[in-house]
Structures are given as C-alpha cells and as structure tokens.
Amino acid sequence: MSIQARRERERAERERLIVTAARELAEAEGWDAVTTRRLAAEIEYSQPVLYSHFKGKDAIMAAVAVQGFADLAAELRTARTAARGARESLAAVAHAYTSFARRRPALYDAMFTHLVDLPFATAEAPQPLREAFGELLLAVEPAAAEGDDPGLLTETFWAGLHGLATLMRSGRLPQEAHERRLALLIGHFAAG
C-alpha cells in the first residue's frame, strides 16, 4: 500500500470517528453538548485535527445527517420490500419512518429540523438523501392516480409523516392515537 493510500485511509477513519462520536454524543446528551472541544476530547485528537476535516459543528452535523439518510433509506427499503402489495408497502414505510424518528431523535433532528448545509431536492443532493426519498417514492408511486405528479404526492406523504413524527415527539399529539393517525394517512394515499 502506498503512503498516499494509507494517509487517505487514515483520514477517512478519523472522519468516521468524528461523525460517530458526534452522533453518539448527540443521542446521549443532545446537540447542544456536541462542541468541537468536547468531540476532540472524546476522540482524543486536537481541535485543529477536527477542523482539518470539518469547518465546524454545522459541517459535522451535516455529515451525521447524510449518514442518517443512508440508515433511513436502508430501513425504508427493508420495510418496503418485505411488504406484500401496494397498501402494505405504504403502511410498512410509514411505520418504519415514524419508528426511525422516535428511536433516533437526535439523528432525526440533524436530518430534518436543524439547519444543515445540504442541498435537498436537487441533483446536487448527496446520494443517501436521494435514496431515502426514492424509497418513499417507490412506496407512494403505486397510489398515484392518472395525472398525479408522483414526486409531489411523495413530498406530501413525507410531509404528513414528518408532521406526525414531530408533533408526537414533542408531546403535542398523544402517542396512543399514533396507529389510527397513520391508518388515516395511509388510507388517504392508498385510496388514490
């Protein structure tokens, strides 16, 4: 292995270490606890090493968000492909999405509620973002009626899921009616 290849591998490993530490710290203590000083101490590197990889906390949060989108895409794909039929696929994806938001609150916040410097809904969006949206699209597309724009329909379904997840997580919607709300959303979209 060449020296250059070894350096690139070590650099990539440090970046993974920084992102993993930020993600774990945010899940344990919230994003306010994630500072470059704290991360440097956690991974036992100096702050200048962190800054050689990321411009600051916002860039680290964006990297965590991209990783989160990859995780979400995988979970949505697993749910979608295990389901039988269009309605079941839509329901499985809806449950997987809201479960992801509930189980990984800090990660979900980095992906959807904190301001991160990531392009959404453009060709420049990182591949994991496009893949996560693509999984939603594959579940919603069979419900599209003649003349519907499947992309807009998917955005609307996603907005519904996000709204339910966010309002429930914040305590503004009671947990006990979650399944009924999802059934209403799925029923509306599956009805075409």
Look at residue 28 in the predicted model and tell me its pLDDT.
95
Scanning 55-169, the segments in alpha helix (DSSP H) are 57-82, 86-103, 105-112, 127-140, 150-169
Distance CA 162, CA 152 (A): 15
Is the separation of the CB atoms in 80 and 139 below 8 Å? yes
pTM for this one?
0.92
* Per-residue pLDDT, 1: 67
Query: Which residue, 165, 143, 164, is CA-closest to 154?
Result: 143
Residues 27-38 pLDDT 10s: 999 999 999 999
Give whole-number Cα distances, 192 to 138, 143, 153, in Å: 15, 5, 10
Q: How far apart are the first and last CA of the chain?
A: 56
Nearest Cα residue to 97 out of 140, 141, 149, 34: 140
- Token pair of 61, please? 């949060």
Distance CA 68, CA 145 (A): 31
CA distance 81 to 102: 22
pLDDT value, residue 59: 94
Low-confidence ranges of the chain (pLDDT < 70): 1, 192
Residue-level pLDDT at 2: 87
